[in-house]
Amino acid sequence: MKNPEKIWWRAGFALLGSVLLVLLALAPYVQFLWLRELGQQALFWTMTWTRAVLFLVGATAGGLSTGLSLAYAERNWPAMSGHGPVEVEVRGTRVIVVERDRFPKWLVPASIAMGSLALGLSTLPMALPTLLFLHRASFSQPDPLFGEDPSLYLFVVPFLGEALARLDACILIAAVAGLLYYAVRGSRRLASLGTVPAPVIRHLGLLVGTFLITRAPVFFLERWDLVITGSGPAAGAGYVDATVRSPALLVLAISAVVAGCYLLIARQAALWKQLAAIGAVVLLGVLGQLLVPAVVQRWVVAPNEIAMERPYIEHGIERTNVAYGLSSMKVLDYPAGGVLSPQRLAAHRDTLNNVRLWDPEPLLDAYKQLQSLRPYYDFPDVDVDRYTVEGRARQVMLAAREIPSRGGDTWVNQRLKFTHGYGAAMSPVTEVTSEGLPRFWIKDLPPVTLPDVPVQRPEIYYGELTDWYVLAGSKEQELDYGKGESNVYAHYEGSGGVPIGGFLRRALLSLYFGDMNILISQAVTPQTRLMFWRDIATRLEQLVPFLEIDPDPYLVLSGGRFYWIVDLYTTSDRYPYSRHLALSARGWPRRLNYVRNSVKAVVDAYDGKVRLFATEERDPVLETYRRVFPTLFSPLEELEPELRAHIRYPDFFLRVQADVFLAYHMKDAQVFYNREDTWELPQEKYNDKIRAVQPYYVMMKLPGQRQLEFLLMLPFTPKGKDNMIAWLAARCDGPHYGELLLYQFPKDSLVYGPQQIEARIDQDTVISQQLTLWDQRGSQIIRGNLLVIPIEDSLLYVEPLYLQGSEAKIPELKRVIVATANAHSTDAGPDSAPSTVVMRPTFAEALAAVTGTGEASADRQPETSPQLPGAPPPTDAAGKAAEALRRMEAAEKALGGADWERFGSEMKAARELLEQIARPR
């Protein structure tokens, strides 16, 4: 009859093992369900099978190394048969070893199992490096020192480094297993103190010798790493690295092999000889990597540094520009000596009609005050884009109306009812109402829109603030939006989220999220869809953890529904001869020296579907990932044209590139070494604080081009100076997407930079008095971004001024400052510059004044904004007068363009409004 106690123990262990197995498999199971929702289960299986194979290899190696170590200990340690003390001779000394009474037989297989499990688990993080190693693509750009392809440094060396680290772990596990064996089976009581048993010394010598032999490939990898971690003046290996450290590492690798073989062969040698062999390797390392390089640097290189380092500086400059995508930049001359004549302004009417007057920060405050509409709505940020409205390309700002996490709310409200945001706010960047507020093209609940920007699917289940899970499609009605004293509800009709399914899946999901309500709620049905990892950043981190995510996803309206477009980057910190850059963005590596904006992610805001499109076909890093995950990326040509029209060059990427380009635009080694032409980002005064100018989007015609383009711009100034020396444009449209154009000003002319224009604004008595007056009335003055707008060979500077009351935090655009500053000879002195700064209520008035043409003419009027359908007409006299004035201005513009039909309709509308004002009540 079986022992009931043993049966219970076995049942308990079986139950505990089952629970542990479920807990270990829970996270992969949920990830599989989520990836299957996105149609990317192939990614899951690729990683899972790779991890399984690596685990088996690691477990076999761990078990084998542990078993061999224990077998060696068993053979070399004196037999302990249980017949009392054993007298042995250790180094000529007679000692008595007292054996243990009993040796636990299970210890050997348990040790082997533990070693096998430990090393098997340690190989799991090697899955991606292994796949990249096996599928690596070539760069076809050999490094200048060793002549190796960069793929060696990006994919081969990391894999070999990981493999060698596991080999070290094997040796460590073997050493620990052997020492534990000696400690458990052998006696600690020795008749002669101060000695170590010879078998232990031989065993440790064998392990140390093996370890030294494995150091040889490590030293060889370190030699390759010199082109990445070297001490060259530009980046990568310098003279000392190439001529001293590199050969020294080869010598060190050979010496490690020799010393290791000596320890393996001469196991009976005296201990001091074995220690001497180890010490020789250490000494060579200190001499070859520290002392000799320091002497050569001080006495050979330092007195002739530029001559010695010139080729290495040239390597660093060239490869850094390649690594950051700057090598294909076109450099052009920009004379900047032209005058803004009326004819020139008329030729660039489209540019002037898209000059940005609304900055993201004050506009976001205005959106929150005017369009949040309910306390549970919020706008995460404002995005800049372009849309075609009434046949014209217009620059707009757009923000999603989302519901952030409602901490402290009831479970039903948080998980079942308040599941999604609703709609968005959109306004043109150039237009303002008579009250100084943005003129909306999309607003309110339900959305009121222009015909050219219809919203048919306004629900936003996936966004920037949706960082908690919800259950859509339950028996509970989901809030769409508030309407008067009641609410409008909806039921989810999409395919987003994981279906709850039957009891088992429901229980597992409840366990994973730690929420028992998922299991017991009567409102949750098998068809209910659990939406998790809904915020855009987390969603992409889970799908492509090997790509870096732009910190600013932007909202796009296409085909009546909302999408998020996110820029993704391939990065590395192992590109040869490239400068390292430190970053602090979420999820980004702290250091990198290679970056490409190679992927665009499109996320459906309603069903969460994620599509990834390759935009940089020549990126070998992306090509490697495409070989590993062939179903993950699609060609950009497969993206719908309507969505493709909204792709833009990421401002975050341009900031990264600009940070490097400030020094690495200097191509001459001598100039670079002396830092003769280092640039920096110009300074501006924003909201009374001095800060660096950030890249900004504009719609303009590039010099020599006839087509209006959506561009990302950034000016530069010399280091320590305020005058502008160049400006960089990144093209965003069509076949020219990604092209970088650098326009350099003449070296012998001074062109005013943003900070110098800010100083002229501060020195203008009229502007200063007006700002002081507003400040005395208790209003907060917000000085907006100072934008530099190139127009042919001249420059226009535009800075909006906002007024914000102390109580109502609604910024109002009250004034626009416009300035011109033509380039002039540096011999004439800065005071001789034909520069003008004016401030007026509108951009058109300021532009007319600064160009000296009096009142704003029709050619310089901003494009008249289309009106929202159903917008209520003005009822008060002031509102009707403002609307009549707007109609008359539109009529004047139509007259200037010989648009007689529009001229007649606008004049008729203006006349009707004036008649209403004059009509007696």
Same domain, 148 and 221: no
Contact 802/811 with Cβ under 8 angstroms? yes
Q: What is the CA radius of gyration of the chain?
A: 36
Same domain, 379 and 519: yes
**How does pLDDT run across 695-731, given as a tens digit for each residue?**
999 999 998 888 999 999 999 999 999 999 999 999 9
Same domain, 583 and 624: yes
Same domain, 45 and 190: yes
Residue 235 lies in a domain: yes
Q: What is the DSSP letter of 197?
A: -
Dihedral sign (CA 629, 630, 633, 636): positive
**How does pLDDT run across 305-352, given as a tens digit for each residue?**
999 999 999 999 999 999 999 999 999 999 877 788 888 888 888 899
Contact 154/571 with Cβ under 8 angstroms? no
Which has more pLDDT, 770 or 360? 360
% of the chain at pLDDT higher than 90: 64
Note the pLDDT of residue 93: 66
Note the pLDDT of residue 836: 83
Which residue, 385, 457, 393, is CA-closest to 422?
457
**How does pLDDT run across 18-68, given as a tens digit for each residue?**
788 888 899 999 999 999 999 999 999 999 999 999 999 999 999 999 999
Residue 245 lies in a domain: yes
Q: How sure is the predictor about 87, in pLDDT bands with cuts at 50, 70 and 90?
A: low
Same domain, 599 and 679: no
Query: 575-589, 685-699, 840-854 — which one is most confidently predicted on average?
Result: 685-699
Which residue, 137, 134, 131, 135, is CA-closest to 151?
137
Residue 14 lies in a domain: no
Give dist(CA 785, CA 714) in Å, integer: 12
Domain boundary among 834, 857, 880: 857
List C-alpha distances in Å: 602 to 553, 555, 564, 568.
10, 10, 6, 11
Q: What is the DSSP letter of 770?
A: H
Residue 822 lies in a domain: yes
Which has more pLDDT, 915 or 512? 512
Same domain, 223 and 314: yes
Contact 656/635 with Cβ under 8 angstroms? no
Rounded to whole angstroms, the maximal C-alpha distance in the chain is 129
Amino acid at 189: R
Query: 72-76, 271-275, 391-395, 605-609 — which one is most confidently predicted on average?
Result: 605-609
Peptide bond into 199 cis (omega under 30): no
Residue 428 lies in a domain: yes
Token readout for 486 is 């009641």
Look at 100-109, 375-384, 639-648 and tell me which has the smallest mean pLDDT. Answer: 100-109
Same domain, 287 and 434: no
Residues 6+ apart with CB under 8 A from 760: 752, 819, 821, 835, 837
Note the pLDDT of residue 823: 45
Same domain, 218 and 157: no
Task: State the number of CA atoms in the 13 A half-sphere of 813 facing the CB.
Answer: 29
Same domain, 260 and 183: no
Give dist(CA 277, CA 211) in Å, integer: 13
Q: How sure is the predictor about 108, in pLDDT bands with cuts at 50, 70 and 90?
A: confident
Residue 865 has pLDDT above 90, yes or no: no
Residue 377 lies in a domain: yes
Note the pLDDT of residue 798: 95
Domain boundary among 533, 551, 574: 533
Q: Whole-prediction pTM value?
A: 0.88
Strand pairing report for 740-744 and 749-750: unpaired
Domain boundary among 583, 613, 647: 647
User: Counting every residue, how long is the chain?
Assistant: 921
Residue 345 lies in a domain: no
Note the pLDDT of residue 50: 97
Same domain, 835 and 889: no
Same domain, 505 and 474: yes
Q: What is the total count of domains within the chain? A: 6
Token readout for 514 is 């730690």
3-state SS of 19-86 is HHHHHHHHHHHHHHHHHHHCCCHHHHHHHHHHHHHHHHHHHHHHHHHHHHHHHHHHHHCCCCCCCCCE
Contact 399/555 with Cβ under 8 angstroms? yes
Task: State the number of CA atoms in the 13 A half-sphere of 278 facing the CB.
Answer: 16
Strands (DSSP E) along 589-682, which ranges?
Answer: 591-592, 594-604, 610-614, 633-635, 679-680
Peptide bond into 125 cis (omega under 30): no
Same domain, 848 and 897: no
The domain containing residue 738 runs over which residues? Answer: 666-857
Residue 344 lies in a domain: no
Mean pLDDT of the chain: 87
